[in-house]
């Protein structure tokens, strides 16, 4: 049973990587954390640097819109550049 579950999980993660190629830069544990916390941007942000070499974090704005968790207005590089 465990082998079947592991194969299914591996196939699911491979599908996610095929859908968004930047996921190939992540290990299985990191990818599972991103997928599991997709509705919590703060938990996904630490993984940006693994997917996009020049991005350290995002600049967020306060958001009052219903159903919107966060709004981002800029990307911040490791060198402090704001784009």
> What residues form DSSP beta bridges with 76?
57, 82
Average of per-residue pLDDT across 77-82: 89
Q: Check residue 80 and give its pLDDT.
A: 86
Specify whether the CB–CB gap between 50 and 26 falls below 8 A.
Answer: yes
- When pLDDT is cut at 50, 70 and 90, the band that residue 62 belongs to is confident
Task: Give the predicted TM-score (pTM) of the model.
Answer: 0.78
Digit-coded pLDDT (tens) for 42-58: 888 889 889 988 898 88
Tell me how far apart the alpha carbons of residues 40 and 45 are, in angstroms, rounded to a whole number. 9
Name the residue with tokens 């704001």. Answer: 82
Distance (Å, rounded) from C-alpha 55 to C-alpha 66? 28
Confidence of residue 63 (pLDDT cuts 50, 70, 90): confident
């Amino acid at each position: 049973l465990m082998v079947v579950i592991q194969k299914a999980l591996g196939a699911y993660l491979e599908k996610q990587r095929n859908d968004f190629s930047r996921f190939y830069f992540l290990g299985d544990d990191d990818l599972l954390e991103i997928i599991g916390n997709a509705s919590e941007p703060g938990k996904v942000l630490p993984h940006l640097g693994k997917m996009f070499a020049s991005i350290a974090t995002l600049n967020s704005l306060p958001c009052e819109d219903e159903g919107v968790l966060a709004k981002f207005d800029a990307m911040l590089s490791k060198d402090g550049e704001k784009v």
